[in-house]
Structure 1
Amino acid sequence: MPAWRRGGARHDRMSSLSPRTSMAPGTSRLAASRDIPEEVICYTIFSRLPFKLVTCLKTLSKHCYRQLTSDTTFAAEQARLCPSCPALIHIGLPAKPKGPCRYSLDVLSLTPAIVGVPSPGLDFLGCAIDDGNLDLLSSSNGLLCIRYTPYRISHPTPPHAILIANPATQQAQPIPGAAQHLDKSRAVGVGLVFNPSDGSSAYAHSKFMVVQASPSEFTTDTSVEFHFVIFCSDTGRWTMPDTTVTANIAPICNKVVYSGGVLYWDYQQHLLWFDVTRSAAGVIEMPGKLQGSTFDERDRHNIDASNNGTLMCTTIGKDGLSMYHLVKRGDDAHCWELKHKKGWKDIVEKSGDAFQFCCHSMKLRNGWQSKFYERWFVRPLGVESGRWVYLGVRQRWKTSDRVLRYDMDTGKVDDTGKELGNAFDMGPVFGYRNSMAALPPI
């Protein structure tokens, strides 16, 4: 008899012998436990478990299923207490589409037991995904901000839409007035702010904010003035505070990240920030610009939020990989601190097996490890749990990104076996945590 069947049989015998654990018909195992109160099991224990495990627990009983799917207090606690940023997520197209193009969610993680979504499909968004473009704009505590742009099928072109979605619960809703208030240009970033309520008050409820940093006008030939357009779900209104920032920035946004109460826009050599609580804003130079390095088309960087709310910047250059943390020196003063640095020669030598797909043709050459970065296009995709840096490696524009994972603690690289869509898929990858919280009402 298998071990699990023996254990189950033993449990049944013990239950029949002990009146304390016997259950009346229709009574759940949770309700039968007198050692741990049901509130503690649901709101303190279950809410801290990895998402996939929580979804499996729904099969324990009908009572447990109702608690894990319909209890708003549990959903709020799970969204607040579940493991943060256990994976990365992005929206992409298949490498070899068959029939109509189908966008899908791709979760990057070597620990799939910790995180997951019910389905990679995006039909729950409620829009014709085969008749338009989908762009992932931002991610915040389990919610995603997605832009849908229809193809030109009529004149005038149908308006674009901004959607707030929770892939864990398969819920989505459009933001009213987005087409009128937000610049639909791909060059301008839209950020999402979502902090789940702890449900401690009967009047407490979650809300989200959508914020766009929009360049309003050129004050000089080189300087741009930015203002901030904000939508808040609890009021259902669009506002524009008086806060503005004027800086010498090329207004092409690579990525928007929410970390520690502040939104950050990556403008290549500059970082634009906006404190959503104080309505304060400013500009910070990126680590590469502070060091006075000249721009190289092969140099890449990526910003991410750590588990403790610190902003991280991963830089990739000819000298190797570096990790910086943004440290606050005051309300509006910041500086970058170098936390990790490793050269390509050391990285490739220590994990040669992970680079077999790209280095086999260079092994007979002297110094083939140092030639790796010159021959292959490498970009940082994101950081998982503040420790693992995911790298996209491709042979310039000939192939799609092969996904590798670099461990900053051990210096070892693993090949995840994944590839990112087609060769033209360069969309940003965001930190993601599963959240069972319902979408805040508008």
Structure 2
Amino acid sequence: MARIPGDVVHYKILPRLPYKSLSRFECVCKNWHHLISHDIVFAHEQSRHGSPISFGCVYQHKQSINFAPIDVPGELNVRITSPSFFSLPNGTERIRITAAVNGLLLLFLQRKRDEQNDSMRSINHQDAVGEFHYVWNFVTKEGHFIPEDDHRSWFVGLAFDPSITPACYRLVHLAQQRKGLREEFSFEIYSSRTRKWTMSDHKIMIPEGKRIPWDVFCGGRIIYWNCSPYALWFEVDKDVAGCTLLPEAEDLGPQHALGVTNDGLLTSTRFSKNDTITIWTMSEDGAWVKKFYLENVPTVSSFNLFEPLPFTGGDGIYMEMFSSSLWKRILACYNTNTQETTMISEMMGHWPPSKCLHIDYNRIARLGSLGVTED
């Protein structure tokens, strides 16, 4: 009989199997156990070609990061426990999640300014008011301070794709300068390898726009900024920048969110004041196609206020729902086929509201263990 080469079995066949099968095959032999659990090349191939993965949402509550898992029936759902923030500096008062990309969290931290922290601020190049970015791997529990270099911190995005650059991430800061009736946008890039900020040669000139603080979407290698009526984007690996006109751009406002489907299609979600949700997807030729137009979305029990999350494909539209009487909030899902809204889990805290982001936590359990260095 013809013998299948070992590298074909290890890196072309096994990575395409579902998680439930891989969990059993880890027990075949020590070689397969190490391959499935620790091999970097296998992890990259499995993340690219593996079976559909489970996901959830990550959000913050006071000084902690919490997870709301969404189980997929029939899949082996990997559980990631809530991380410990012992590595964060003393005196941290506020945490804000800016991005969650392939196992890395980009956090914006604020802490008290006192004499005991002066030396640490000097070492980590933090600014005078104690505000800085912190990139944290919540599987390995390793964190890195980011030298701000006098940047405005509200418009920074994170790009990280371990299948291309497994040990390096980049931050991109969107800088704005008014020139007459137009706005010029430039891009400053931070690399974890050099620990330095550099200015890109690319500049985007558009009619007067409006940057929305914190409204930054990170899709692996591409970072998007909501600059209504445009979305600006920067692809770090190819060093390419551009902009696209948002759908229904005449009245988007801050209630607008960009997302991406599992097959890489850009999505746009708009939430109107009359509780109307409109979702577009971008076609291959760059045109926006209206996918859903929903009026009077049913709520859950006494949770009468809601805000949709970025659309990631499928039949479910995920949203945060709030109850002013109970002072609670939940993660819920509206099914476009059954037209029913179901509660997934209760979320700690109600005010101040936090940014809730999708994460593929089965993927993170595998890719997050690869480690990211600051060498």
How high is the TM-score relative to the length of structure 1? 0.67
Amino acid of the structure 2 residue aligned with 1:166: N
1:400 matched to 2:328:
yes
**Cα distance change of structure 1 residues 249 and 257 upon mapping to structure 2, 3 Å threshold:** same
Q: Deviations over 1:193-249 (max 9, x none)?
A: 32414xxxxxx865432212122x3324x6443211112345554321121223422
What is the aligned partner in structure 2 of residue 439 from structure 1? Answer: 371
What is the aligned partner in structure 2 of residue 141 from structure 1? Answer: 102
Task: Give yes or no for contact 1:303–1:314 (8 Å, CA) kept in 2.
Answer: yes
Q: 2:144 aligns with which of 152, 162, 174?
A: 174
Q: Deviations over 1:176-200 (max 9, x none)?
A: xx32436253x32323232414xxx
Write the mapping of 1:332-351 to structure 2, written as runs, cut at 5 A: 334-344=286-296, 347-348=297-298
Write the mapping of 1:46-65 to structure 2, written as runs, cut at 5 A: 46-48=14-16, 62-65=30-33
Distance 2:36 2:106 in 1: 25
Task: Give yes or no for contact 1:84–1:307 (8 Å, CA) kept in 2.
Answer: no
Give the SS at the match of 1:80: helix
Distance 2:135 2:25 in 1: 27
Task: Give yes or no for contact 1:58–1:64 (8 Å, CA) kept in 2.
Answer: yes
Task: Give yes or no for contact 2:211–2:228 (8 Å, CA) kept in 1.
Answer: no
What is the aligned partner in structure 1 of residue 301 from structure 2? Answer: 356
Amino acid of the structure 2 residue aligned with 1:272: L
How high is the TM-score relative to the length of structure 2? 0.78
Write the mapping of 1:91-170 to structure 2, written as runs, cut at 5 A: 91-93=59-61, 102-111=63-72, 114-123=76-85, 126-128=87-89, 131-154=92-115, 158=121, 159=126, 160-167=131-138, 169-170=139-140
Q: Which moved more, 1:431-440 or 1:242-251?
A: 431-440
Deviation at 1:163, TM superposition (A): 3.7
Q: 2:270 aligns with which of 274, 292, 315?
A: 315
Larger radius of gyration: 1
Q: Deviations over 1:308-331 (max 9, x none)?
A: 1111112222262221012354xx
Deviation at 1:268, TM superposition (A): 5.1
**Cα distance change of structure 1 residues 80 and 294 upon mapping to structure 2, 3 Å threshold:** closer
What is the aligned partner in structure 2 of residue 429 from structure 1? Answer: 357
Distance 1:182 1:52 in 2: 48
What is the aligned partner in structure 1 of residue 35 from structure 2? Answer: 67
**Cα distance change of structure 1 residues 117 and 211 upon mapping to structure 2, 3 Å threshold:** farther
The root-mean-square deviation of aligned C-alpha atoms, in Å, is 3.6
Q: Which moved more, 1:307-316 or 1:58-67?
A: 58-67
What is the aligned partner in structure 2 of residue 231 from structure 1? Answer: 190
Amino acid of the structure 2 residue aligned with 1:320: T
Distance 1:174 1:294 in 2: 35
> Which structure is higher in strand share?
2
1:327 matched to 2:283:
yes
Distance 1:182 1:36 in 2: 57
Give the SS at the match of 2:83: coil
Q: Deviations over 1:392-438 (max 9, x none)?
A: 12245973332210123443322213225332123242343523231
Q: 1:244 aligns with which of 203, 212, 233?
A: 203
